[in-house]
C-alpha cells in the first residue's frame, strides 16, 4: 500500500518541536482566524467551498494525531462530522446546489476523498468510510451517465482520485471502483504530450505549465501501476529529468511562479509545489522503493520547506527565490512571470490563499513516511521518532534518536517484549559513500540490512560521512552542500510589519504580513572550496533563522553584482565578474532553510 496505518509513529526530538511550532502557528489556528476555513461552505458557511478546507484538513489531521492533542483532534472531528452530515442523499459530498454540479470542478471530490482516507488511517471511522464509499459511487454514476465530466483542475489532477479509490478497492473489491478509475484516466490529461512545452518558459499562465499540476503529476504512473495492476516503467524519471533540466533549482524543486519559470535563480517557487512535490516523492518511494525518490524528498524537505515559512509558522511566502535579497512589494511590474508583486512577502495569504491552506501537510506527512513495513520493518527517513508495531504476535518498538540532518549520526534502540526474528532495513543516504555501524566502517550499498533475533533492548549507532563541497549550477555559479543540506550566505534582515484588512480578511499580529528588508551586504563570491563545519546547540525552532544548529565557515570575497534590470530589490542572475574593493572575509553560511534572505548561488573566485 502507499497509505499506511502509521499512527504507530510518534515524533521525538526536533521533529516533535517542529510539529509543536506548527500547531501553535497558522496550521493550528486557521479555523479560528481565516474566513475561508472558519466560515467555509463545507461546514454550512458562506465562504469558499472547494479546495481550501480539504487542503487544510489534509495536514491538520495528521498534525493533531501525531501530537496526540485532544483540542486539535476535536476540531478536526468537528469539520469531518459537518462534512459528512451535509452529504446529499445520493452521495454527493461537496457544497453547492444540485443544479450546479456540472459546473463544479470535481478536483475537490478527489481531495476530500484523500482527506477521508487520512482520517480513517488515524481513527478507523466506519462512518467516514461509508461516506467516502457513497461519495465515490455517486461520482461514478454521474460520470458514467455523463452528468459531470473532468475539466480544468480535475482534468490535470485525475490520478489524485486513485488514492481514495485504492483504499475503497482494498476494502470492497467491487468492479465499479476500477471502472471509475478507467473513466477518470480516459478523460484526464496525457502528460507525456506536454514535455516539449516545459522546455521554454513563457510569461503566460497555462494549466499544462502550472507547477503544482506538474509536481502532482509525477506520481500518476506509480498510482496507476498499483491501482490497475500494470507494469511500472518509471515514466516519472523521464518527466522529472526534463522538468529539472529546464526548470530545476539548487534545492531540488522547480521554479514556478506560478507556471514554469526556467533556470533563473531569482524566479520564484510556489509553496504549494514544495509540499505537493514532497508528497509525490513520498508516494513514489512507498510504491517503487527506488531510493532516488527518498533522496530527492530529503533535499526538498530540509531546505525548500522551512525556507519559505517563518520561524513561528504564522506566516509564509507564496513564492521563494533561491537568491532572495529582499522580500519587498514591487512598486511597479511584478518580477514574477505569472504572480503578483506581493507573492514573495511573508504573510497570511500573499498573492493567493491556496498555499495558506495547503502547506500544513509538509512536516506531518514527512514524519508519516519515516517507517514502513515490507518484508520486515524499514526506516526510510532518519527522523527522530518511535515506531511501534507487532511482529509474529510480539510487540516491537524502535526508537530513533538523531539530530539529522543537522548531525550525521543516529542511535537506534530496538525493544522486543519477547525474542522475535525480523529484518530491520535502514536506507543510507547516497551522499554518504561509507557509513559506520557500531565502530565498523562499510561501503554504502544503499541500505543497512539487519536480519536477526531481537530480544529485550538492543542498541546500535549509525554514523554517516560527508565533507562540505561546492556543486555546479548554471551560469558558472556554485552552491555549497553538506549532507542533505544546502547552505546560503544569510543577509541581515529588518522585518516591517503590515496590519490591514482586504476583501474582508484581516491581517493582525501574529497573522499579519511582513516585508523583509536587507540590512547587510549580499554581493560576495567564494574564495575557497574549503569549509569548516560548526555545530551549535540551537533553540526551540529546529530551522531557526537566529540560531541555526549547524553552519559552515567560508572564505568570501566582495564582488560587483548588479540588480536585475528594472528592479532595486532583485539580484541579477550572476555578477559582472569583477572583484570589489574589500578584504577577504570569513563568513558563516547558514542552512538554506534557516535563511529567509540569502544568497545561495555564487561564483568561485580564486586568482
Q: pLDDT (tens digit, 9 = 90+) per residue, 150-169?
A: 999 999 999 999 999 999 99
Q: Is 344 helix (H, G, I), strand (E, B) or coil?
A: coil
Q: What is the DSSP letter of 499?
A: -
Ranges of H-type helices in 157-205: 162-172, 175-187
Buried/exposed 395-423: b ≥16 CB within 10 Å, e otherwise: ebbbbbbbbbbbebebebebbbeeebebe
The yes-or-no verdict on residue 6 having pLDDT over 60 is no
- pLDDT over 90 (residue 380): yes
Confidence class for position 1, pLDDT limits 50, 70, 90: very low
Which of 135, 58, 128 has the alpha carbon at shortest distance from 101? 135
273, pLDDT greater than 60: yes
pLDDT averaged over every residue in the chain: 96
Confidence band, pLDDT 50/70/90 cuts, at residue 576:
confident
Judge if the upstream peptide bond of residue 537 is cis by omega within 30 degrees of 0: no
The answer to whether 506 and 481 are in contact (CB under 8 A) is no
Quick check: bond before 53 cis, omega within 30?
A: no
Q: Is 502 helix (H, G, I), strand (E, B) or coil?
A: strand
Q: Could you write out the DSSP letters of every residue in 508-576?
A: BTTB-EEEEEE-S---EEEEEEEEEEEE----SSTT-SSS-SEEEEEEEEEB--PBPTT-SSSB-SS--
Which residue matches cell numbers 482520517?
A: 119
Query: Length of the chain in residues, anyone?
Result: 607
How far apart CA 558 and CA 577 sit, in angstroms, is 11
Domain 373-402+409-464, architecture per CATH = Sandwich (2.60)
Whether 607 shows a pLDDT value over 90: the answer reads no
pLDDT for position 580: 76
Summarize pLDDT for 419-446 with one digit per residue, the tens.
Answer: 999 999 999 999 999 999 989 999 999 9
- Tens of pLDDT along 224-263? 999 999 999 999 999 999 999 999 999 999 999 999 999 9
Beta strands 409-427 and 377-379 are parallel
Could you count the other beta carbons within 10 Å of the beta carbon of residue 465? Answer: 14
Which long-range contacts link 560-568 to residues 24+ away (Cβ below 8 Å)?
Answer: 560/523, 561/522, 561/523, 564/266, 564/335, 566/332, 566/333, 567/330, 567/335
User: Cα–Cα distance between 598 and 321 in angstroms, integer?
Assistant: 9
**C-alpha angle with apex 429: 316 to 375, nearest 5 degrees?**
105
Q: Report the half-sphere exposure of 141 (CA within 13 A, side-chain side).
A: 8
What are the pLDDT digits (tens) for 49-85? 999 999 999 999 999 999 999 999 999 999 999 999 9
- Give the pLDDT of residue 581: 75
Coil, strand, or helix at residue 305? helix
pLDDT at 28 over 60: yes
pTM: predicted TM-score of the whole model, two decimal places: 0.97
Domain boundaries, the chain: 1-188, 373-402+409-464, 469-599
Q: How far is CA 166 from CA 226, 242, 276, 286, 390, in A?
A: 8, 29, 19, 14, 24
Query: In this predicted structure, what is the pLDDT of residue 2?
Result: 34
Residue 295 pLDDT more than 90? yes
pLDDT tens by residue, 300-348: 999 999 999 999 999 999 999 999 999 999 999 999 999 999 999 999 9
Amino acid at each position: 500500500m502507499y497509505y499506511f496505518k502509521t499512527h504507530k509513529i510518534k515524533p521525538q526530538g526536533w521533529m516533535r518541536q517542529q510539529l509543536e511550532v506548527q500547531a501553535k502557528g497558522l496550521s493550528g489556528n486557521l479555523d479560528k482566524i481565516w474566513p475561508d476555513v472558519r466560515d467555509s461552505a463545507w461546514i454550512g458557511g458562506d465562504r469558499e467551498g472547494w479546495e481550501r478546507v480539504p487542503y487544510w484538513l489534509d495536514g491538520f489531521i495528521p498534525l493533531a494525531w501525531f501530537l496526540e492533542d485532544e483540542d486539535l483532534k476535536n476540531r478536526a472531528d468537528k469539520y469531518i462530522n459537518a462534512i459528512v452530515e451535509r452529504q446529499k442523499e445520493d452521495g454527493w459530498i461537496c457544497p453547492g446546489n444540485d443544479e450546479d454540479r456540472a459546473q463544479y470542478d470535481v478536483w475537490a471530490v478527489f481531495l476530500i476523498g484523500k482527506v477521508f482516507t487520512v482520517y480513517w488511517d488515524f481513527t478507523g471511522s466506519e462512518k467516514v468510510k461509508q461516506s467516502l464509499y457513497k461519495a465515490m459511487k455517486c461520482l461514478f454514476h454521474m460520470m458514467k451517465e455523463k452528468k459531470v465530466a473532468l475539466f480544468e483542475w480535475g482534468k490535470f489532477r485525475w490520478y489524485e482520485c486513485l488514492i481514495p479509490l485504492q483504499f475503497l478497492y482494498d476494502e470492497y473489491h467491487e468492479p465499479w471502483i476500477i471502472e471509475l478509475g478507467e473513466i477518470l484516466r480516459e478523460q484526464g490529461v496525457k502528460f507525456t504530450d506536454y514535455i516539449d512545452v516545459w522546455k521554454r518558459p513563457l510569461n503566460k499562465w497555462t494549466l499544462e505549465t502550472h507547477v503544482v499540476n506538474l509536481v502532482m503529476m509525477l506520481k500518476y504512473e506509480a498510482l496507476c501501476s498499483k491501482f490497475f495492476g500494470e507494469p511500472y516503467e518509471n515514466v516519472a524519471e523521464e518527466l522529472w529529468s526534463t522538468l529539472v533540466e529546464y526548470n530545476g533549482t539548487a534545492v531540488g524543486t522547480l521554479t514556478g511562479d506560478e507556471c514554469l519559470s526556467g533556470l533563473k535563480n531569482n524566479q520564484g517557487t510556489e509553496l504549494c509545489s514544495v509540499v505537493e512535490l514532497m508528497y509525490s516523492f513520498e508516494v513514489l518511494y512507498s510504491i517503487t522503493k527506488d531510493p532516488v525518490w527518498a533522496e530527492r524528498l530529503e533535499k526538498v524537505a530540509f531546505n525548500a520547506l522551512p525556507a519559505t515559512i517563518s520561524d513561528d509558522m504564522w506566516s509564509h511566502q507564496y513564492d521563494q527565490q533561491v537568491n532572495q535579497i529582499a522580500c519587498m512589494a514591487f512598486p511597479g511590474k511584478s518580477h514574477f512571470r505569472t504572480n503578483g508583486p506581493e507573492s514573495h512577502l511573508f504573510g497570511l495569504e500573499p498573492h493567493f490563499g491556496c498555499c495558506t491552506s495547503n502547506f500544513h501537510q509538509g512536516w506531518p506527512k514527512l514524519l508519516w513516511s519515516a517507517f514502513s513495513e515490507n518484508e520486515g520493518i524499514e526506516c526510510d527517513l532518519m527522523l527522530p521518532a518511535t515506531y511501534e508495531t507487532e511482529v509474529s504476535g510480539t510487540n516491537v518498538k524502535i526508537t530513533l534518536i538523531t539530530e539529522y540532518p543537522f548531525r550525521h549520526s543516529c542511535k537506534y534502540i530496538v525493544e522486543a517484549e519477547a525474542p522475535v526474528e525480523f529484518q530491520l532495513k535502514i536506507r543510507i543516504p547516497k551522499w554518504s559513500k561509507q557509513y559506520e555501524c557500531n565502530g565498523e566502517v562499510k561501503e554504502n550499498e544503499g541500505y543497512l540490512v539487519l536480519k536477526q533475533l531481537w530480544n529485550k533492548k538492543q542498541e546500535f549507532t549509525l554514523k554517516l560521512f560527508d565533507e562540505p563541497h561546492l556543486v555546479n549550477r548554471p551560469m558558472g555559479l556554485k552552491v555549497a552542500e553538506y549532507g542533505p543540506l544546502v547552505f546560503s550566505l544569510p543577509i541581515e534582515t529588518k522585518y516591517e510589519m503590515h496590519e490591514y484588512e482586504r476583501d474582508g480578511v484581516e491581517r493582525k499580529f501574529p497573522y499579519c504580513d511582513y516585508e523583509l528588508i536587507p540590512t547587510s551586504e549580499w554581493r560576495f563570491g567564494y574564495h575557497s572550496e574549503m569549509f569548516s563545519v560548526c555545530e551549535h546547540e540551537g533553540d526551540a525552532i529546529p530551522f531557526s533563522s537566529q540560531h541555526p544548529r549547524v553552519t559552515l565557515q567560508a572564505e568570501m570575497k566582495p564582488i560587483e553584482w548588479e540588480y536585475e534590470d528594472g528592479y532595486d530589490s532583485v539580484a541579477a542572475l550572476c555578477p559582472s565578474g569583477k572583484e570589489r574593493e574589500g578584504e577577504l572575509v570569513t563568513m558563516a553560511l547558514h542552512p538554506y532553510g534557516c535563511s529567509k534572505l540569502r544568497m545561495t548561488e555564487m561564483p568561485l573566485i580564486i586568482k
